[in-house]
C-alpha cells in the first residue's frame, strides 16, 4: 500500500482516482476486432474517443489501454461499455487486491503481472484489469511493455482455437499469459534461494542474513499478489453467467491449477527459507561454540602454567626451591605434564 | 478490555451502562433530513428530546450523536425508534467487539474508528455504532471530532448517488468513511515499520527491541478491532431483509474487499515485523560472535607469549638459558613466530 | 484432568461417579417457584427428597443444588425429572469439558465458572451444570458460594423481563451470569500481564521468566475452559426445540458474542505474552552482549600490556633495553598509546 | 510405520498380511452369545473353525479373537460373516490408521488401545478391530491381555442396559472401554509432565532436555493414534444404517466428547511441554549469563591489578618508583581502590 | 519447478511441450488387452502408430508408454482416444502438480511415483499419468523402470478380481501400486530420522545440522508431491460418472486412507525432525554452557592467585614481607585456601 492511498480517503465510492506512479507519457490504445474469418487492428490515440463503439455481436472487440493516469478517458470508456463505477474505481486504483466482480452485462477482473528485475533481484509488479462482456474486452495495463504480445500474435495467425471463441476465451487467454509469467518469476526466486543455500553451506558470512531477510520480504510481497488469485479463479470457475461458454470451464480449471501450483511453490519457498534461516542461526551458534572451545582450551592450559611461572618469579628471600639444582627442569617437566593431561582431557571431551 | 468492564458483571442483559471514559462535555446531536429534492439540517441539544420523531417515509432521517455518557438519552431515543435493548446496551458499551445484529425493523452495526496519533505513535480508537431502518439512521460516536464530515458535505452538494438512496446506502457510506480512515492508519504503521527496518539495517541499537515490541502490541490491538469486521461485512452482504435495496450489494461487496485488504495488510505487517525481530536477534548473535572472536584472537595469541615471558622471569638459581648471550633475542624471535602463525591460523579460520 | 478420573475407567456408561474434591459438608438445595404474578422460595435439605415434584406447567421451578458428592441424591432427582443417565454422569464428573446435549424433554449444559484468587494469582474453577425443560431448571454447583445471587435478586424484584419468561430464559440468565464473571477474571489476567510488562521494561530480573511461565499455563488452562463454550453457544443458538422460545435468540446470540470476545481476549493475551517472552529473551541476549563487551574491552587492552610488562620482567643476563636510561618511561608511553588506540578502536566499533 | 510395511507393497488390494510382531503363541477365541434372558460362554481354539456359525437373529454373538498372526483363520471367519476383503486386510495390518468403514451388512472399526508402561515411561499400543452386523460382533486384539474383561462382567451380571441391546451397543461399549483407558494414559503423561516441571523449577540439569524430547515424541505418537478417532466417532454418529438403533446416538455422542476431550488434553500437554522447553532454554541462557557475569567480574577486576604488579616486576635499571620508601604500600592502596570502585560499578550494573 | 518451465511461457494452452529431462532413448509402448476369459500382450514401437485402435467394448485395452519426449506421438494417441488437449499438455509437463480432471469420455489423473536412492539418501520422483475411459487406459511414465510389473503379473495370472473388472479398476490398481511404493520411501525416511536421532543422542557433531537440513528439504519436497493427492483421491471418490462402477468405491476409499496415512506420517516426521532440531540446538547451548563453566572455574581460581604471585614478584626496594622467614610458605597456604574455597563455592553453584 503506497502513501498515495490516503489521498482517496473520504471521496465518494466509485470515484476514479489514479493512485499509482505515472509510468507512461501518453496513453496508448490498441484496438483489435476479430471473428473466425477476419481480423482488423488499429492504434487509437486518446483524442479519438469517438472511435469507441458500443459492442456489436458479429465481432469480438478488444481495446487494450496502456497507462492509467488519464482517469477522464477511463470514465469515458466506462460510459460507452456501461461499466459499473466501482469497477472503474478499481481500474485506476493500482493498490487493488486481485479480485473478480460480476456486474450486470460484464465481468471485472483485476490482478498483478509480475516480472523479475535481475539486477536488483526485485520483483516488479504491474496492475492489469480486464472487463469483458459477450463480445468485447477492455484490458488496462499500467505500463507500456506489451504483456499480451503473444496472444496478439496467436490472434493474427488465426489457426488456433482463439479466433473461434468469444470474449470469455480471450479473457482466459490473457489471464493465462499473466500467470505464465509467474512461473518465470518463481524460477528466478528459486534460483536466488539456491544461491543463498550454496553460500550458506560453503561460506556463511555476514551478508547472508541480509539476503535471507530481503528474499523473505520479497516472498511475502509476491504471496500477497498471487494468493488472492485462487479465490478469483474459483469464482471464475463457478460463474453461472451467460457470458461464459460451457466449454471454457476446463481451461479455467487448468488456470486455477496453475495458480494453486504457484502459491504452493511460494509456500514451499518460504518453508525452505525458514529452514535456511534456522541453518544460518545454528551455523552461527556452532561457530561461536568452536571459537569458545579454542579460547577455553588455550586459556585453561596456560593459565595454571603462567601461575606457576609467576610463583617462582616472586622475590621472597627464603624460597628453598629456587636454590635446588634441577628445580627449573623439574618444573618444566611438570608444566609439560600438566599441559599434556589437560589436552588429553579436552580431547576426550571432544572440544577440538 | 478496560477495568470498567467489571462494573457491569451481574446486571440484567439489556442494561445500558456507559463503560468508556467520558470524552465529551455535553452530548451533541446533529440532525439531517433529506430526500432527492430537499435537505434540512439542525443541531439539537439533549434537552429537546421532544424533537425526536418517529421515522417517516418521505425522508431519510439521520440523527448523529456525539458522546455516549448520557445513557438515559440513549434509552429515550431507543424507545422512539423501537431499538432492541441489547442494541442499546452495545451502543453504550465501548468495549464492544465489532458486530452486526439484525432485529425486527432495524439493523445494528458496531465498529471502531481508528486514527493515528503521530506524536506518541499510538493508534487511537473510537467506538461507532449505527442503527438504521428503512428511512432513518442513528449514529453514535464516542468523541466530538466529526468523522462523517465528508459524507455530510456530499449530502449537502446533493448531486451524487447518495441523496437518491435510502438509509441503507447512508449506512454504507458511513461505514466506507470509517474504513477509508483505516488506510491512513495502515500507511502510518507501514511507515513506522520501514523506519524500524532502516534503523536495523544501518545501526541496530538497544532502542529497537522496544520499538518492535511496542509496534507488535499496536498491530495486535488494531487487528483485534479490524479482524471481526470481515464477518460483519459478509453478514451485511448476506442480509436478506427488505431494509436493504438490491443495488447496494456491489457497494457492500466493495467495502468487504477493502476490509479484507486491510486485514491482509495487517497480517503482512506482522509477518514483516517478525522478520525484523528475527533479523534483530541474528544481528545480536552476529555482533556477539564478532566480539568473542576478537577476544579470542587477542587472548589466545598473548596468553602463551605471556607464559613464556613469565617463565624467564623466574628466579631459579640455575637456569642456563638466562646466561646465554642471544637467548633474549632468540626468544623474541620465537614469540614473533608464534604470534604470526596463530594469526595465520585464525585468518584461515575466518575469525577476523 | 485429575488423578481421580481413572477410578471411573471400566464402569458402564451412565455411572454417576463424583470425580472432584468434596468442597461442601452437606448438600444445600435452594428452591424457587415463580410465574409473572407470584414467587415462592424454600431451602430444602437432602433428606426431604419427597419435596421434589415433577414439573408443573403454571410455574417455573428452579432447584439449585450446591455440592455434588451425594450421587445418590443426584440420581434421585434425575428420576423425578426424567434426566438421561449420561447427563447425570456428566453432572457428577467435575472434569467434564463444556458441552450442550439435547435430550428428549430437556437440554443439558455443562460449563466452568471462573474466579480469580488475588493472593495466589490463580484462577479457581467450579463446574456448573444446568438441565432444563419447559418449566423447570436444575442447576448444580460444586461449591457453596452463591454464583447466582444476582439472578435470584432480579427474580425477587419481579419487575424485569425474567419473571415473564420460561425456564429457557432462566437458563440464559444463569449462563450470562457465569460469562459475566469471566470478564472479571480476564481483567485480572490483563492486569497481571501489564505488571509483568512494566517489570520487564524497568528491571528485568530472574523472577520474570517464572511469572511468564506461570501465567502462560494459567492462560492455557482458562482457554481450555472457555474455548469449547463457543461451540456450546452456537449449538444453543441453533437448537430447534419447542423448549426454546423464539424471542430468546437475540439474547443467546449476544451471549455467544460475549464468549467469542472472551476467547479473542485470551488469544490476544497469549500473543502479548509471547511478545513479552521474546522481549525477555532478547533482553537477556542484550545484557549478555553488554557483559561480554566489557570483558572483551578490559581483557584485550590489558592482555598485551601485561605481556609487555612480563617481557621486561625476564631475568636474561643480556637484555640491552634494561640498561638504557629512559626505556622505562618510553615503555610506559608505548603502553598508554596501545591502550588509547585500542579504546578508540572499540569505541568506533560501538562496543561500549 | 514399521519396516514390515514394505513387504506388502505390490500385493493386490484385499491381501490379508500380518504386519506386526507375533505377540501370542496360539490364537485364543472367546465366544459369547446372549440376549436379554440368557447368556452362553465358550473358549474355542483355532482348530474348531467349524464352530463358527453364521449370525442368527435371536441372539447377539460375540467372537473375541486375541492374536492376529493366523491370517488363514481371519480369512475363514471373514467368509462365514461375509466381511469385505479390505476390512480383513485392515484387521491383519497393525499399522492401520484408526478408521471406520461401512460395508454392506457390516460396520468395520479399527483403533488403537493404549496402556502406560510405568517402568520405561512408554506408551504401549495394541491394535483393536471391530466388525459388527445386526446381531454379531467380531473383535480382534493383537495381544493376550483381556481389554474387555469389564464389559464381559457386565454382560454376565445381566442387570444393565447392555443385555437388552443389539451388537451396535456392544460395539459402543467396547469402544468406550478402549477410550476409558486413554484417560489412564493421559493421567500418567500429565504426571510425567508435572515431574519434569518440578525438576525444572527446582534443579534444572542435563537430563531434562532428554526427558522433554522423549515425552514430546511420545505425545506425537499418542496424538497420531487418538487424533483420527474424532473422525471415526463423527462418522459413527452420522451413520444412517439400519444396523444402528436410534437410542444409541446419545451414547456415541458422549463417546465422541470423550475422544475430543482426550485430543484437547493432548494438545494442551503439547503446549505445556513447549512452555517447559522454552523455560528450560531461558533457564540455560540465564545460568550462562550468571556464569559469564562472575567470570567477567573476577577477570576485569584482577586483570588491571595483575598488570600493575607485572609493571613493577620489570627489571629496568632505572625505575625511580622502585626506590621510594612507601611506593609498595601506595601501590597496594591504589590496587584496593581500583578493586573497590570496579566492584561498586558492577554492583550498580546489577551484575552479581 | 525446473528451469525448463519457463520455455513454455506464452504458448497457447493445450500446447504439448516436454519439460523434463529425456530419460529414455526410445519410447517403449507395452500393450495389453484382456477380459475375464482371455488376455493378449504386445510390445509396440513408436513407428507402429497404426496399431492404436479406438477403444472397443468387449476388452479392456491398456497402452503403457514409457518415455515422454516424443510429443508428436502423444498427440497422435490423444487423437485416437479423443483426449482433451489440456490433458495431453499435462502428460508431457513433468512439473505438473498431482491432479484429477474429468473430461467428456475420460478421466485424467496425474501423480508422482517416488523411489528412494539409498546411496545419496535422496528421493527420486517420476511423473505418472493415467487417462482412462470405459474400456481403455493409457498410462504414461517418464522412465524405463517398470512400476506396474506386479499389476501385469496379476493380470496374467487371471485368477483375481482384476480380470473381471473394467478400466476403472485397472486405474485404481495402478494408483494403488504407486501409493504402495510411497510406504517404502516413508520407511526409508523414518530410518534416516532414527539414525539422526541416535547420532544426536550419542555424539552430536557438526555434520548433524547439515543432515537435518537436507532431510527437512527432502520432506518438504515429498510433501509437495503427496499432499495434493488427498484432493485427487476425494475427487475420485466423489466422481459421479458412468465410467466408474459402484463396487469400486470401497477400494478408492481405501486408497484415500492410505494417502492420508502417508501425509500424516510425513507431518509426523516433520514434527519429529523439528523436535530433533530443537534438541540439537539445546545440545549446542548446553555444551557451550559446560565449556564456559570450565573456563570460568579455571580462570576465576587462577586469576587471583596469579595476581598474588605477581605482587611478590615486584622489585620494590622496600617490601617487608619479602624478608620474613616463612612468608613464602604462608602465601602458598593462603593460595591453597583461596583455591579450595572457590572450588567449594562453584561446586555448590553446581558449575561442574
Determine the pLDDT at residue C4: 44
| pLDDT exceeds cutoff 80 at D3 | no
Is the predicted ipTM greater than 0.85, yes or no? no
The model's pTM: 0.79
E103–A250 CB contact, under 8 Å: yes
Measured CA distances, A10 to A14, A84, B139, B148 (Å): 12, 20, 18, 9
Measured CA distances, B255 to A85, B248, B251, D185 (Å): 14, 11, 6, 51
pLDDT band at A352 (very low <50, low <70, confident <90, very high): low
- Calpha distance A139→A137 (Å, rounded): 6
Mean pLDDT of E16-21: 80
The single residue listed with the C-alpha cell 479490524 is B226
pLDDT band at A4 (very low <50, low <70, confident <90, very high): very low
pLDDT tens digits, A103-123 = 888 999 999 999 998 888 889
Pair type for strands D60-66 and D136-141: parallel
Determine the pLDDT at residue C48: 62
| pLDDT exceeds cutoff 80 at A53 | no
- Calpha distance B319→A90 (Å, rounded): 93
Query: Residues of chain E with pLDDT > 90: what percent?
Result: 32
Determine the pLDDT at residue E4: 44
Best to test chain D binding among C291, C303, C352 (most D CBs inside 10 Å): C291
Mean pLDDT of D18-41: 84
| pLDDT exceeds cutoff 70 at C192 | yes
The better pLDDT of the pair E268, A204 is held by E268
Determine the pLDDT at residue C14: 77
Torsion of CA E66, E69, E74, E75, to 10 degrees: 180
DSSP E257-302: HHHHHHHHHHHHHHHHHHHHHHHHHHHHHHHHHHHHHHHHHHHHHH
Determine the pLDDT at residue A179: 92
Across the beta sheet with A106-117, what order do the strands follow?
A: A39-45, A28-34, A60-66, A136-141, A122-132, A106-117, A99-103
C299–B302 CB contact, under 8 Å: no
E275–D209 CB contact, under 8 Å: no
Determine the pLDDT at residue E47: 63
Q: Give the three cell numbers for residue A123.
A: 520483483
- Calpha distance A136→A59 (Å, rounded): 8
Torsion of CA D318, D322, D327, D328, to 10 degrees: 150
Cβ-Cβ contacts under 8 Å, D264 against chain C: 97, 224, 228
- Calpha distance D243→D251 (Å, rounded): 15
Best to test chain D binding among E311, E313, E320 (most D CBs inside 10 Å): E311
Helix (H, G, I), strand (E, B) or coil at C45: strand
Q: Which helix (H) or strand (E) holds D34?
A: strand D28-34
| Arithmetic mean of pLDDT over chain E | 86
Helix (H, G, I), strand (E, B) or coil at C9: coil
Mean pLDDT of C111-116: 93
Residue D139 CB neighbours (<10 A): 22
pLDDT tens digits, B106-132 = 999 999 999 998 888 889 999 999 999
Cβ-Cβ contacts under 8 Å, A302 against chain B: 303-304, 306-307
Q: Which of A2-6, D252-256, E284-288 has the lowest mean pLDDT?
A: A2-6
| Arithmetic mean of pLDDT over chain A | 86
**Minimal Cα–Cα distance from D312 to chain C, Å?**
8
Determine the pLDDT at residue B49: 60
pLDDT tens digits, D142-194 = 888 888 988 998 898 877 788 888 899 999 999 999 999 998 899 999 999 99
Determine the pLDDT at residue A36: 86
- Calpha distance B307→D269 (Å, rounded): 55
Determine the pLDDT at residue C2: 42
Mean pLDDT of E77-96: 89
| pLDDT exceeds cutoff 90 at C174 | yes
Cβ-Cβ contacts under 8 Å, D206 against chain E: 286
D213–E275 CB contact, under 8 Å: yes
**Minimal Cα–Cα distance from C192 to chain D, Å?**
18
| pLDDT exceeds cutoff 90 at C50 | no
Who's near B296: CB < 8 A, 6+ residues apart? Answer: A291, A292, A294, A295, B346, B351
What sections of B140-206 are H helices per DSSP?
149-157, 167-202
pLDDT band at A140 (very low <50, low <70, confident <90, very high): very high
pLDDT tens digits, B177-221 = 999 999 889 989 999 999 998 888 887 777 888 888 889 889 988
Point out the residue among E160, E265, E311 whose CB comes nearest to the CB of D1: E265
Integer distance in angstroms from the first to the last C-alpha of chain C? 52
The better pLDDT of the pair A40, A22 is held by A40
- Calpha distance E197→E190 (Å, rounded): 10
* CB-based contact D299:C298 (threshold 8 Å): yes
Q: Give the three cell numbers for residue E143.
A: 522412465
D6–E184 CB contact, under 8 Å: yes
Who's near B282: CB < 8 A, 6+ residues apart? Answer: A209, A277, A280, A281, A284
pLDDT tens digits, A254-301 = 899 899 989 999 999 998 998 888 888 888 878 877 887 887 888 888
pLDDT tens digits, E138-182 = 999 988 888 898 899 889 887 778 888 889 999 999 999 999 999
Q: How many residues does chain A have?
A: 352
- Calpha distance A225→A329 (Å, rounded): 78
Point out the residue among D291, D313, D324 whose CB comes nearest to the CB of E351: D291
**Minimal Cα–Cα distance from B280 to chain A, Å?**
10
Mean pLDDT of D91-96: 87
pLDDT band at D44 (very low <50, low <70, confident <90, very high): confident
C173: Cα separation from own chain's centroid: 23
**E125 forms bridges with which residues in the sheet?**
E114
* CB-based contact E211:E196 (threshold 8 Å): yes
List chains adjacent to chain E, taking adjacency as at least 3 C-beta pairs closer than 8 Å. A, D
Environment class of residue C221 by beta-carbon count within 10 Å: exposed (0-12), middle (13-18) or buried (19+)?
middle
pLDDT band at A346 (very low <50, low <70, confident <90, very high): confident
- Calpha distance C31→C51 (Å, rounded): 10
* CB-based contact E265:D1 (threshold 8 Å): yes
**Minimal Cα–Cα distance from E26 to chain A, Å?**
30
| pLDDT exceeds cutoff 70 at E50 | no
Determine the pLDDT at residue A49: 60
pLDDT tens digits, A206-222 = 788 888 888 988 998 89
**Minimal Cα–Cα distance from A185 to chain B, Å?**
20
E351–D217 CB contact, under 8 Å: no
Q: Beta strands of A225-306 (E only): which ranges?
A: none
Q: Which helix (H) or strand (E) holds E230?
A: helix E229-237
Pair type for strands A136-141 and A60-66: parallel
Cβ-Cβ contacts under 8 Å, D84 against chain E: 250
* Residue B12 backbone dihedrals phi, psi, to 5 degrees: -65, 145
pLDDT tens digits, B63-89 = 999 888 888 888 888 888 899 988 999
- Calpha distance C163→C142 (Å, rounded): 26
**Minimal Cα–Cα distance from E307 to chain D, Å?**
5
The better pLDDT of the pair D159, A340 is held by A340
Determine the pLDDT at residue B1: 39
Q: Give which of E198, E196, E213, E351 is closest to E289, Cα–Cα.
A: E351
Q: Beta strands of chain B (E only): which ranges?
A: 28-34, 39-45, 60-66, 99-103, 106-117, 122-132, 136-141
DSSP C52-85: -----SSSEEEEEEE----HHHHHHHHHHHT--H
Identify the DSSP state of A205. Answer: -
pLDDT tens digits, B282-325 = 888 788 778 878 878 888 889 899 999 999 999 988 888 888 88
Q: How many CB pairs under 8 A join C and D?
A: 145
Determine the pLDDT at residue E337: 95
pLDDT band at D9 (very low <50, low <70, confident <90, very high): low
Helix (H, G, I), strand (E, B) or coil at B334: helix
- Calpha distance B87→B78 (Å, rounded): 9
Integer distance in angstroms from the first to the last C-alpha of chain A? 52
Determine the pLDDT at residue E1: 39
- Calpha distance E233→E257 (Å, rounded): 9
| Arithmetic mean of pLDDT over chain B | 86
Torsion of CA D312, D317, D320, D326, to 10 degrees: 50
Mean pLDDT of B239-261: 87
| pLDDT exceeds cutoff 80 at B22 | no
E311–D314 CB contact, under 8 Å: no
Q: Which of B92-96, B322-326, E10-14, E73-77 has the lowest mean pLDDT?
A: E10-14
* CB-based contact E95:E19 (threshold 8 Å): yes
pLDDT tens digits, D294-351 = 878 888 889 899 999 999 999 988 888 888 888 899 999 999 999 999 999 888 887 7
| pLDDT exceeds cutoff 50 at A1 | no
Determine the pLDDT at residue D219: 92
Mean pLDDT of E317-339: 91
**A107 forms bridges with which residues in the sheet?**
A102, A132
| pLDDT exceeds cutoff 90 at A143 | no
pLDDT band at D288 (very low <50, low <70, confident <90, very high): confident
Rg over alpha carbons for chain A, rounded to the nearest Å, is: 35
| pLDDT exceeds cutoff 50 at C1 | no
User: In chain B, what are the helix, strand and coil shares in percent, each to the nearest 5?
Assistant: 55, 15, 30
Amino acid at each position: 500500500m503506497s502513501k498515495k492511498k490516503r489521498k482517496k480517503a473520504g471521496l465518494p465510492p466509485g470515484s476514479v482516482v489514479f493512485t499509482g506512479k505515472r509510468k507512461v507519457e501518453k496513453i496508448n490504445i490498441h484496438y483489435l476486432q476479430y471473428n473466425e474469418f477476419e481480423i482488423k487492428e488499429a492504434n487509437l490515440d486518446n483524442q479519438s474517443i469517438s472511435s469507441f463503439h458500443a459492442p456489436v455481436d458479429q465481432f469480438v472487440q478488444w481495446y487494450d489501454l496502456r497507462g492509467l493516469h488519464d482517469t477522464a478517458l477511463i470514465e469515458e470508456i466506462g460510459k460507452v461499455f456501461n461499466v459499473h463505477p466501482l469497477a472503474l474505481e478499481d481500474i485506476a486504483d493500482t493498490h487493488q487486491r486481485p479480485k473478480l466482480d460480476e456486474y450486470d452485462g460484464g465481468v471485472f477482473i483485476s490482478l498483478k503481472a509480475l516480472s523479475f528485475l535481475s539486477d536488483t533481484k526485485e520483483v516488479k509488479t504491474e496492475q492489469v484489469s480486464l472487463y469483458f462482456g459477450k463480445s468485447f474486452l477492455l484490458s488496462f495495463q499500467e505500463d507500456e511493455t506489451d504483456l499480451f504480445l503473444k496472444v496478439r500474435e496467436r490472434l493474427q495467425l488465426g489457426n488456433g482455437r482463439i479466433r473461434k471463441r468469444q470474449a470469455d476465451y480471450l479473457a482466459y487467454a490473457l489471464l493465462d499469459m499473466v500467470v505464465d509469467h509467474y512461473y518465470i518469476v518463481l524460477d528466478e526466486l528459486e534460483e536466488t534461494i539456491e544461491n543463498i543455500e550454496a553460500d550458506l553451506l560453503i561460506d556463511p558470512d555476514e551478508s547472508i542474513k541480509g539476503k535471507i531477510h530481503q528474499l523473505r520480504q520479497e516472498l511475502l510481497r509476491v504471496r500477497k499478489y498471487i494468493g488472492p488469485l485462487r479465490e478469483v479463479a474459483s469464482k471464475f470457475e463457478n460463474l453461472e453467467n451467460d457470458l461464459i461458454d460451457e466449454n471454457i470451464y476446463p481451461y479455467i480449471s487448468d488456470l486455477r491449477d496453475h495458480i494453486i501450483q504457484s502459491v504452493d511453490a511460494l509456500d514451499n519457498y518460504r518453508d525452505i527459507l525458514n529452514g535456511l534461516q534456522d541453518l544460518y542461526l545454528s551455523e552461527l551458534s556452532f561457530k561461536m561454540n568452536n571459537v569458545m572451545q579454542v579460547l577455553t582450551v588455550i586459556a585453561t592450559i596456560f593459565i595454571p602454567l603462567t601461575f606457576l611461572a609467576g610463583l617462582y618469579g616472586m622475590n621472597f628471600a627464603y624460597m628453598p626451591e629456587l636454590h635446588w639444582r634441577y628445580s627449573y627442569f623439574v618444573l618444566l617437566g611438570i608444566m609439560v605434564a600438566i599441559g599434556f593431561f589437560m589436552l588429553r582431557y579436552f580431547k576426550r571431551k571432544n572440544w577440538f
